[in-house]
Structure 1
């Protein structure tokens, strides 16, 4: 193998490495964009609710009956607004859901 053949081999290997890096960069961009869009969608879903949720809101969010909503109110640590009966701070409720969900 001559010097020119060795140089060509190195150039090909460098080009392959560059293409692999470009492919990785594009994949990272794709994953980041998908994560961003999912975050935006999650934010839209959460913030479509008023800052103070009612029993009806909880029923819809949890897709459950009035009885189940009533049981939530008795769970220690479930967020409640202390000054108005049957009002629950939206962001704390969604945080509670996140912290109490088992995947």
Structure 2
């Protein structure tokens, strides 16, 4: 996956979040499954910033979308002490992946 350098807040429009996984049937034509949709006021891209790992999901604009992009430094300044809380909640993200995909080991790193 791509390295994480930004966090995004949707100002208008809708963004589809997908992840690739192997060996499952309910996938889209490109081998990815939709895991979320973000609309006005919602955000995406935070997990890779919190974990310091490459992105595990891809974001796709549904029509015209306007997002606020925040770099890593601004993201960390905004969160301040909450960053530690988010890092502690990484286990919850892992549990969500297992619930969605059966196991987090089935997830394939996205290409480009």
TM-score by length of 1: 0.22
- Structure number with the bigger relative contact order (C-alpha 8 A, sep ≥ 6) is 2
TM-score by length of 2: 0.21
